[in-house]
């Protein structure tokens, strides 16, 4: 017998969403740090912008949620 959505289920779902969004932010920050570290290691410059290919792919993943 299916049960209805109660307040506890809703709060648990929101908690899981918040945790997933936090993990996504952590991953995005890690990607930026790794990119900067790689550029520095290869004696590359930093223009202050992430390459469009990386930013576009990240935005597409975020928008598809």
**Tens digit of each residue's pLDDT (9 = 90 or more) over 6-42:** 888 889 999 999 999 999 999 999 998 898 888 888 8
pTM, two decimals, is 0.57
**Greatest Cα-to-Cα distance within the chain, rounded to the nearest angstrom:** 63
* Stronger pLDDT, 37 or 2, i.e. the higher one: 37
* Stronger pLDDT, 52 or 40, i.e. the higher one: 40
Place 47 in a pLDDT band, splitting at 50, 70 and 90: low
Q: What is the dihedral of CA 33, 36, 37, 38, to 10 degrees?
A: 120
pLDDT at 19: 96
The Cα 46–Cα 48 span in angstroms is: 6
């Amino acid at each position: 017998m299916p049960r209805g959505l109660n307040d506890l289920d809703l709060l648990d779902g929101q908690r899981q969403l918040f945790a997933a969004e936090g993990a996504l932010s952590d991953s995005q920050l890690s990607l930026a740090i790794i990119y900067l570290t790689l550029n520095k290691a290869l004696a590359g410059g930093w223009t202050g912008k992430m390459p469009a290919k990386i930013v576009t792919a990240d935005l597409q993943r975020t928008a598809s949620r």
